[in-house]
């Protein structure tokens, strides 16, 4: 009997029986539309899977409790928008309950107390509301901006122990509160709405990557692989075939510019044009782990694109979304929609990356390949907590014991040392910087690196050269990383920091503008770089505006500098206090160790501002 830990979402319609009595056919049709247009796409977009339909309700499973809560909020907001647009008698109110716990896996179904508690919580939810267990509230309270109102411990049917019950407050936007820094730009899979894949033509049968990160011998070259099928023309007059083909062509072209995903050539994937078939069979024939498919239709002057990413091993939907755009210029429409589709798939919180992480952690530790160790280490690094970075380093070292000398794992270990310094967690910044430098030079001494590893190494080297004051060398290294990933919004944004440090603030803004155009979902990161740039340029009001929306890494310290220069000393001290709460060991000197500008007066003046705002001076190591 297989058991696993899952987040379970239970939902049903309030007063469904009464609605059915009034108008059975119309009620059923409205419910079907809500499922197909809202519930199923949103659940898939948040990486969940519906495993049971029950008349007016459903049960869905998520690998991430954060995804489950974000999905529930999106569903309730979507229902609110739809209710506002229809007469009162046609409105549905939905209740949602969420629990995290162990479930029993039996085929496609899930059983056990984890499921039962979710169903009971749904019954306790208010119409249009979300009710979660105490475990869920505790798990996500520091990761999401939503508030929770305690309803105390309640006895629920068929559950022996009382359950801690919380109601979600829906009056805040779903913004992640993840403490990150410049190093976060290192995420090389832009997964939000376009970004990441290399190897333009994948030799079918070469075995570089099979469904969901299976490793081939050698390991370092193992990367996710994707096939993009032509988008189906669903217009009534069948006049949008050119747009469906153009979208697929553009997605393939963009993805082919990235070194971290392999994309099948157009010739191979377009062989399936007009053919219906099992995605699992198509994936097997093309030798890929993921398949992108979609459709185009036109209503008036509005084009609607539906795109979805499918796990070719299981046939499950990993991600799906709908994009609407009005306009008469087909090429402009194609360009914009292509960007949104690619961005939605790639990036730090993207569907492929999440699926890969989940797959790696689902494997027995005795059966991990080199790439699995990397994925596990990366998932911990991306928490950007002190514990997560330490754990990432441990996993990389474990992997290096099994795969001695692995360039991929060596580069990953180097990043963990650098991020301890960059995020102000290091107890010995000099030692961590020296070790990161040793590791990256070891990787770069290998003349046969895969593009994936080479980009990681050049990127890390750019940061280390910046910290050591070699700004020209840093730009050269960063340009090598950019050449491998010219469409990657993360890389572009982080490159802005390198150019800013080298005395090119205008270039930094140019790069963040390019990143914003490709993936608006990265606002938390490119606003951070913009904020730092505005501080350097003396545009302190502008800096305050964007840094308040960039709550990660040392953003509070940059905000404190801007406040001090505006004469808002109390707000500056509050920002420093906020930073110290997240990183208690942060000092002026440890902050100086994480930055280095070509013009040393920039750092000197900023450090003086931080000292006046109350940041402890510390000692330089």
Q: Among candidates 542, 517, 523, 543, which has minimal Cα distance to 532?
A: 543
Based on the domain organization, do 221 and 266 belong to the same domain?
yes
Enter the DSSP assignment of 445: T
Based on the domain organization, do 584 and 529 belong to the same domain?
yes
Place 64 in a pLDDT band, splitting at 50, 70 and 90. confident
Per the CB < 8 A criterion, the answer to whether 290 and 309 are in contact is: yes
Q: How many CB atoms lie within 10 A of CB 107?
A: 6
Contacts of 413 (CB under 8 A, 6+ apart): 377, 393, 396, 397, 400, 439
Helix ranges (H only) for 125-235 are 134-140
Q: Is 621 inside a domain boundary?
A: no
Based on the domain organization, do 519 and 372 belong to the same domain?
yes
Q: Report the distance separating Cα 56 and Cα 332, nearest Å.
A: 41
pLDDT at 2 over 80: no
pLDDT score, position 186: 34
Based on the domain organization, do 310 and 375 belong to the same domain?
no
Q: Cα 556 from chain centroid?
A: 22
**Residue 330 is part of a domain; what is its CATH number?**
3.40.50.10610
**Which residue shows structure tokens 């007063």?**
15
Q: How many structural domains is the chain composed of?
A: 3
Based on the domain organization, do 373 and 495 belong to the same domain?
yes
Burial class (CB in 10 A: 0-12, 13-18, 19+), 27: buried
- Domain end call among 313, 345, 377: 345
- How would DSSP label each residue in 356-386? HHHHHHTS-GGG--HHHHHHHHHHHHTT-SH
Both tokens assigned to 549: 């929306």
pLDDT score, position 515: 82
Q: Is 186 inside a domain boundary?
A: no
Q: Classify 315 in phi/psi space as left (phi over 0), alpha (psi -120 to 50) or beta.
A: left
Based on the domain organization, do 318 and 363 belong to the same domain?
no
Residue scoring higher pLDDT (207 or 468): 468
Residue scoring higher pLDDT (163 or 183): 163
Q: What are phi and psi of 207, to 5 degrees?
A: 75, 20
**Residue 555 is part of a domain; what is its CATH number?**
1.25.40.10
Based on the domain organization, do 281 and 373 belong to the same domain?
no
pLDDT score, position 375: 86
Q: Is 187 inside a domain boundary?
A: no
Based on the domain organization, do 377 and 315 belong to the same domain?
no
- Domain end call among 345, 375, 408: 345
Q: Is 481 inside a domain boundary?
A: yes
Least confident of 176-185, 350-359, 588-597: 176-185
Domain range for 400 is: 357-612
Residue scoring higher pLDDT (337 or 113): 113
pLDDT score, position 152: 84
pLDDT score, position 418: 96
Q: Is 97 inside a domain boundary?
A: yes
Q: Report the distance separating Cα 329 and Cα 301, nearest Å.
A: 10
Average pLDDT, the chain: 81
Q: Is 214 inside a domain boundary?
A: yes
Based on the domain organization, do 247 and 221 belong to the same domain?
yes
pLDDT at 67 over 70: yes
Above pLDDT 90, what percent of the chain? Answer: 36
Based on the domain organization, do 460 and 541 belong to the same domain?
yes
Q: How many CB atoms lie within 10 A of CB 373?
A: 27
**Residue 139 is part of a domain; what is its CATH number?**
3.30.70.1230
Both tokens assigned to 19: 């609605």
- Domain end call among 169, 203, 224: 169
pLDDT at 516 over 90: no
Q: Is 406 inside a domain boundary?
A: yes
Q: Is 404 inside a domain boundary?
A: yes
Based on the domain organization, do 442 and 502 belong to the same domain?
yes
Q: Report the distance separating Cα 201 and Cα 217, nearest Å.
A: 20
Based on the domain organization, do 334 and 365 belong to the same domain?
no
Contacts of 571 (CB under 8 A, 6+ apart): 563
């Amino acid at each position: 009997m297989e058991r696993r830990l899952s987040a379970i979402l239970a939902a049903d319609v309030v007063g469904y029986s009464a609605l059915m009595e009034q108008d059975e056919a119309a009620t059923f049709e409205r419910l079907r539309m809500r499922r197909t247009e809202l519930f199923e796409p949103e659940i898939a977009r948040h990486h969940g899977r519906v495993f049971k339909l029950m008349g007016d309700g459903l049960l869905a499973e998520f690998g991430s409790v954060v995804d489950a809560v974000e999905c529930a909020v999106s569903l309730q907001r979507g229902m609110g928008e739809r209710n506002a647009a229809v007469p009162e008698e046609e409105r549905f109110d939905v209740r949602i309950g969420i629990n995290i716990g162990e479930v029993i896996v039996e085929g496609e179904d899930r059983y056990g107390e984890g499921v039962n508690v979710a169903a009971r919580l749904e019954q306790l939810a208010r119409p249009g509301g979300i009710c979660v267990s105490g475990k869920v509230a505790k798990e996500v309270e520091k990761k999401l901006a939503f508030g929770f109102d305690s309803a105390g411990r309640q006895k629920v049917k068929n559950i022996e122990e009382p359950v801690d019950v919380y109601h979600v407050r829906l009056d805040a936007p779903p913004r992640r509160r993840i403490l990150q820094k410049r190093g976060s730009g290192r995420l090389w899979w832009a997964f939000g709405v376009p970004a990441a894949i290399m190897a333009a033509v994948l030799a079918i049968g070469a075995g570089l990557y099979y469904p969901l990160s299976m490793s081939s011998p050698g390991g370092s070259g193992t990367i996710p692989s994707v096939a993009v099928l032509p988008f189906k023309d669903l217009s009534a007059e069948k006049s949008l075939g050119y747009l469906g083909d153009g979208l697929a062509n553009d997605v393939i072209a963009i993805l082919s510019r990235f070194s971290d995903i392999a994309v099948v050539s157009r010739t191979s994937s377009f062989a399936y044009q007009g053919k219906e078939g099992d995605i699992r069979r198509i994936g097997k024939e093309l030798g890929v782990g993921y398949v992108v498919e979609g459709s185009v239709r036109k209503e008036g002057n509005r084009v609607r694109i539906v795109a979805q990413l499918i796990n070719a091993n299981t046939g499950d939907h990993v991600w799906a979304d709908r994009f609407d755009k009005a306009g008469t210029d087909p090429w402009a429409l194609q360009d914009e929609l292509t960007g949104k589709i690619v961005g939605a798939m790639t990036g730090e919180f993207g569907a492929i990356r999440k699926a890969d992480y989940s797959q790696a952690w689902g494997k027995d530790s005795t059966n991990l390949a080199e790439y699995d160790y990397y994925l596990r280490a990366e998932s911990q690094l991306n928490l950007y907590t002190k514990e997560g970075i330490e754990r990432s380093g441990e996993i990389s070292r474990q992997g290096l014991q099994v795969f001695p000398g692995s360039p991929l794992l060596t580069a990953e270990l180097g990043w963990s040392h650098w991020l301890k310094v960059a995020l102000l967690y290091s107890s010995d910044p000099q030692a961590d910087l020296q070790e990161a430098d040793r590791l990256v030079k070891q990787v770069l001494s290998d003349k046969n690196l895969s593009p994936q590893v080479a980009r990681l190494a050049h990127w890390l080297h750019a940061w280390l050269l910046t910290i050591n004051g070699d700004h020209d060398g840093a730009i050269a290294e960063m340009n090598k990383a950019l050449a491998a990933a010219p469409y990657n919004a993360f890389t572009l944004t982080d490159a802005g920091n390198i150019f800013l440090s080298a005395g090119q603030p205008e270039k930094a803004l140019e790069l963040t503008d390019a990143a914003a155009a490709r993936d608006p979902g990265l606002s938390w990161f490119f606003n951070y770089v913009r904020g730092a740039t505005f501080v350097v340029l003396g545009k302190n009001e502008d800096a305050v505006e964007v840094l308040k929306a960039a709550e990660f890494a040392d953003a509070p310290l940059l905000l404190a500098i801007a406040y001090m220069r505006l004469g808002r000393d109390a707000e500056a001290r509050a920002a420093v206090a906020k930073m110290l709460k997240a990183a208690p060991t942060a000092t002026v000197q440890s902050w100086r160790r994480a930055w280095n500008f070509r013009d040393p007066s920039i750092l000197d003046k900023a450090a003086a501002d931080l000292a006046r705002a109350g940041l402890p001076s510390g000692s330089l190591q």
